Amino acid sequence: MASSGLVCETDAWKDLKAHVEDIKKTHLRELMSDTKRCRSMMVEFDGLLLDYSRQCATVDTFNKLNKLAEEAHLKDKINLMFSGERINITENRSVLHVALRAPRGSVINSDGKNVVPDVWQVLDKIKDFSDRVRSGAWVGATGKPLTNVIAIGIGGSFLGPLFVHTALQTGYLDAKDISPYPEAAELASGRKLHLTAFKPIYKPEDSQRVSGKTSRLSNTYFPFLPVISYFPFIAVFLCKSLAIVTAAACFLSHLFVCFYGGGLGVYAVGQFVNCLANVDPIDVARNITGLNPETTLAVVVSKTFTTAETMLNARTIREWISAALGPEAVAKHMVAVSTNLTLVEKFGIDPNNAFAFWDWVGGRYSVCSAVGVLPLSLQYGFAVVEKFLQGASSIDQHFHSAPFEKNLPVLLGLLSVWNVSFLGYPARAILPYSQALEKLAPHIQQACPDDPVSMESNGKGVSIDGVPLPYEAGEIDFGEPGTNGQHSFYQLIHQGRVIPCDFIGVVKSQQPVYLKETGNNPSNIEPRKLAYTGELVSNHDELMSNFFAQPDALAYGKTPEQLLKENVPSNLITHKTFSGNRPSLSLLLPSLNAYNIGQLLAIYEHRVAVEGFVWGINSFDQWGVELGKSLATQVRKQLHASRKNAEPIEGFNFSTATLLTRYLEHMHREQGRSKGGLHGFAKVVSINRTEKRSG
């Protein structure tokens, strides 16, 4: 039989297969005691520190993985990507998201044409437009500035921007401390960007304080907080002495608490979350409730401008604007991001207000195009978004040029291949110890069959040449910020299934401490005491204590012998035993500003590419999402026909026909009740779909 050219046929693959037995004999406890090995498994780049010493791997494993990379032609494939070759062969497209963040003046060709000037032309247009909207030079139909943005999009046209927005929205408590550029949250003052999937509990107007800041506790407006500042006044008043002086002091204190959140969850305005991705009408309702069309700008984000969900939502918002302000208002209140400018114009959006991108940008890799840059610039200003692009670009250059043993995305990608295809661990947990990164896992995972960076990219069953894969590829990504995840699924990862974990920590928190320190212990050696609470560490140190502890708990576990020494009752020994030997890696970021967020995004994007290159699959197409879409079209037609003309349900299997009948009958009963009319028109014709088709 002719060779299929699959990577599993290479000597390096076979060698790694044989190597698994050696590794399985060695516990991570032993591997971790080899300091030389651990030192060799730490890599630094541009402020980032990757520690992969807690992987079930030795230096020898890495030599073998490097050999695999060689035999899979990893270097050549990376070069082909950067040189604009059409490596997405099933769609005949180049894969050039790296060009979206390339510095002005650099050269990246697609079909012999340098695309970087086109990229910067759109970026300049975004800068100009977002400046005008933010400054109030661009106003709505009634002359009011547009302070609210709804970005309408789904999949890659939604989750990437949402991840970055969520990561930027809190900003730093002390802007002076984190120069060199003013922080995103401050720059968002007074603006609202609606991207995400739930509505705030507080009223939007509440966040429009003069100071541009509002206090929130766990996404909930906490109106009673400032009242706390009056407690001393009340006490003194009761004592009937020094009341006036104290009242003045308390009033100032009230102002401080109002404007600076009293140290509790300070958020700059413009960051309350909402959504318009799902075709579910609940999503639309949540978005427009409390919003004024006069001050709202809708950005329709769709690469194809044909996606059913996005277009229905866009038509709904267009109607909402037209109904309130007249059809001519659409020109002022709706703009678009797409590769399909013809359809944008047909929809009724002025082509001058359309922001282009290109076929060589995959939907899930599009956050650095106008897809993300436009809504994020409207919210934070272009300068912040430019920093984000620079962070991503720094990783691009590193990925393209660093030797594999120092190359962060390559190391991470090879480790994933090792864990999935050799050690047989199909899942990966993404565990950022930062609430600001709460949307990282959804962006990387995008767990529905709709557009995962990782799961859509590498969730494939055949090689790039169409040969069925005899080995496992792709991985199940999921995650939750620490420490929340610790109280939900960590039980499983400690004592149940083995799931390699990515721990992501940040040295300098966006919100470093809420409880002020009093200790004057410059040596920093002893735990520093905090004011009036007796806390041993700052809130961020508390969070990071978990970040540092969890990987060791997973790696070392706890033996029955240790438990016996602790006098654990014998009936609990097995329950309290932790097998350990559970792999993880730790990535430590210096801070979480726009630049670092760009770095993080690019690391994950390239890691996915490395995995796909080694597995020999096409990480840049997504045929797997098509079947469900086309079946939905058939159901849509049936619903229309049954509702309009009482046509019977036909062409579906028994199960679907029964469900459809129940759905339609119930609706009609409701309608009948309100109109006093008939119901029960749907007649089930139970035909097996495949039989009908083949017949």
| Subset of 364-383 contacting ligand F6P (CB under 6 A) | 364
Per DSSP, the residues of 405-442 read GG-HHHHHHHHHHIIIIIS---EEEEEES-GGGTTHHH
Q: Which range touches ligand F6P (CB under 6 A), out of 37-45, 302-310, 396-404, 522-530?
A: 302-310
**Whose Cβ is closer to ligand F6P: residue 161's or residue 226's?**
161
In the bound complex, which residue of the shown chain has the CB atom lying closest to ligand F6P? 363
- At position 33, the amino acid (one-letter code) is S
**Which residue of 553, 625, 646, 667 would you call a contact of ligand F6P, by CB under 6 A?**
625
Select from 393, 380, 398 the least CA-distant residue to 105.
393
**Pick from 310, 316, 435, 509: which binds ligand F6P (CB under 6 A)?**
310
Q: How far is the CB of 600 from ligand F6P (least distance, A)?
A: 20
324 binds ligand F6P (CB under 6 A): no
Active site residue ranges:
456, 487, 629
| Segment interacting with ligand F6P, rule: CB under 6 A, options 34-42, 98-106, 303-311, 488-496 | 303-311
Q: Is 154 in the site for ligand F6P (CB under 6 A)?
A: yes
Chosen residue from 169, 302, 421, 434 binding ligand F6P by CB under 6 A: 302
What x-and-dash track marks residues 348-367 binding ligand F6P by CB under 6 A? ---------------xx---
CA dist list (Å): 600 to 208, 280, 349 = 32, 31, 34
Indicate the residue among 154 and 268 with the shorter CB distance to ligand F6P.
Answer: 154
CB of 320 to ligand F6P, least distance (A): 20
Answer for which of 55, 307, 435, 642 binds ligand F6P (CB under 6 A) is: 307
Instruction: Find the binder of ligand F6P among 211, 289, 304, 533 (CB under 6 A).
Output: 304
Tell me: does residue 634 bind ligand F6P (CB under 6 A).
no
Q: Is 253 near ligand F6P (CB under 6 A)? A: no
Q: Tokens 């939905």 identify what position?
A: 632
In angstroms, the CA 45 to CA 619 distance is 26
Which range, of 149-157, 234-242, 353-361, 403-411, touches ligand F6P by CB under 6 A? 149-157
Residue 49 has a CB neighbour count (10 Å cut-off) of 16
Which lies closer to ligand F6P via its Cβ, residue 55 or residue 622?
A: 622
CA angle 494, 407, 611 (to 5 degrees): 60
Strands, DSSP E only, in 492-645? 501-506, 584-589
Question: In 3D, which of 401, 403, 350, 394 has the Cα closest to residue 368?
Answer: 394
Rounded Cα gap, residues 680 and 390, in angstroms: 61
Kindly report the number of other CB atoms within 10 A of residue 29's CB atom. Answer: 14
Instruction: Name the nearest CA neighbour of 149 among 274, 268, 267.
Output: 274
User: Is 342 a binder of ligand F6P (CB under 6 A)?
Assistant: no
Determine, following the binding rule CB under 6 A, whether residue 622 of this chain makes contact with ligand F6P. yes
Q: How far is the CB of 158 from ligand F6P (least distance, A)?
A: 8
Minimum CB distance to ligand F6P smaller for 491 or for 633:
633
> Would you count residue 451 as binding ligand F6P (CB under 6 A)?
yes
CB 358 within 8 A of CB 70: no
Q: Under a CB-based contact definition with an 8 Å cutoff, are residues 413 and 163 in contact?
A: no
79 is a site residue for ligand F6P (CB under 6 A): no
CA angle (153 as vertex; 144, 354 as ends), nearest 5:
60
In the complex with ligand F6P, which residue's Cβ is closer, 253 or 313? 313
Is residue 450 at the binding interface for ligand F6P, with CB under 6 A as the rule? yes
Find the shortest distance in angstroms from Cβ 605 to ligand F6P: 14
Nearer to ligand F6P, 170 or 366 (CB): 366
C-beta separation of 161 from 375 below 8 A = yes
Query: What's phi and psi for 584, nearest 5 deg?
Result: -155, 170
# of chain residues touching ligand F6P (CB under 6 A): 15
In the complex, least distance from residue 514 CB atom to ligand F6P, rounded to whole angstroms: 38
* Residue 157 touching ligand F6P (CB under 6 A): yes
In the complex, least distance from residue 552 CB atom to ligand F6P, rounded to whole angstroms: 38
Q: Count CB atoms within 10 A of the CB of residue 504.
A: 25
How many whole angstroms separate alpha carbon 463 and alpha carbon 472?
Answer: 11
**Least distance from ligand F6P to the Cβ atom of residue 447, Å:** 13
Inter-residue contact 336 to 355 (CB < 8 Å): yes
DSSP 123: H
Nearer to ligand F6P, 359 or 552 (CB): 359
156 forms part of the interface with ligand F6P (CB under 6 A): yes
Closer residue to ligand F6P in complex, CB, 26/304: 304
Q: Which is nearer to ligand F6P, 371 or 610 (CB)?
A: 371
- Concatenating the DSSP letter of every residue in 623-686 gives GGGHHHHHHHHHHHHHHHHHHHH-PPEEEE-HHHHHHHHHHHHHHHHHHHHHHT-------EEE
Q: Which residues of 267-281 are buried (b: 16+ CB within 10 A; e: fewer)?
A: bbbbbbbbbbbebee
Q: What residue ranges bind ligand F6P (CB under 6 A)?
A: 154-157, 302-304, 307, 310, 363-364, 450-451, 622, 625
